[in-house]
Amino acid sequence: NLVFDSPVPNMILRNISFKSSEEFTHIRYTAITCDPDEFVEKKYSIRQNNYKRDTEIMVVITMYNENDALFIKTISSVIKNVAYICSKKRSEIWGSECLKKIVVLIVSDGCNKVNKRALNVLSTMGCYQDGIIQDRVRRKPVTAHLFEYTTQLMVDDDFNVQGKNNNIQPVQVMFCLKEKNTKKLNFHRWSFNAFAPLLKPKICILLDVDTKPSHTSIYHLWKAFDHDPHIGGAYGEIKVDLGRRWSNPLVASQNFEYKMSNILDKPFESVF
């Protein structure tokens, strides 16, 4: 298996606080040549296993061809959620080890479909390097590219880079860029058949790019599972960005649909 660490650019190093470990100074690249169902069987490994870390939460973000602004909206909100969880210093589960227990997995559907400006955002955060990508390994075509980096940078809604001067919480990021466009179901195969068996997370949270979780959403979802081990799944309420004065009837109708789903459908589903 082709796996190697590549140094992150000096521009990134100048903007981060922690530099004591390779997870902060080097990005790890893995050229995957197998099907997601064979990932564990083919002896692929990930950094979290090398560091012998237990994963409490795996946040899966699925990305297709959304632009950089939509991607920033989602990833910055997730980073703020991680910071909120890590502020729970008195928690028996979180506390000082919070960084090691949350993994953000971004799965992108196809090298030719992904938005290049969204890739630029990932590069700015240190989570992607274009120049190290390999097309073949021992004559086998690469099916997916995996980048692993613990980032301390965030790009805000105004496209400003926030780093050590903004006390950004370090976040473990795995970015899986699939070689081919293989649609929605394949997202979940990579998430749950390839990476989840190695991470062994207590809970998985699924988000699409363009979804903006409130800064406490992930914590409250996790808390529901932590309080009741019999819970098999939980669903957050989806709210629509209404804009000014509900001026768009399509947005208003979508908002009504989401409200009815949350009030009627979801409680009824929980009966079974």
Q: Per-residue pLDDT tens for 237-271? A: 777 776 666 567 777 777 777 777 777 776 766 66
What pLDDT, on a 0 to 100 scale, did the predictor assign at position 229? 87
Shortest CA distance to 34 belongs to which of 43, 26, 21? 43
Torsion angle defined by CA atoms of residues 60, 39, 49 and 180, in that order, rounded to the nearest 10 degrees: -40
Domain segments of the chain as ranges: 2-236, 237-272
Look at the chain and count its residues: 272
Per mean pLDDT, which range of 30-39, 100-109, 156-165 is the poorest?
156-165
Its pTM surpasses 0.75: yes
A 10 A CB-CB count for 252 gives 14
Q: How far apart are CA 19 and CA 238, in angstroms?
A: 38
**Tokens standing for 120?**
């630029």
Residue 1 pLDDT more than 80? Answer: yes
Amino acid identity for residue 211 in this structure: T
Residue 122 pLDDT more than 90? Answer: yes
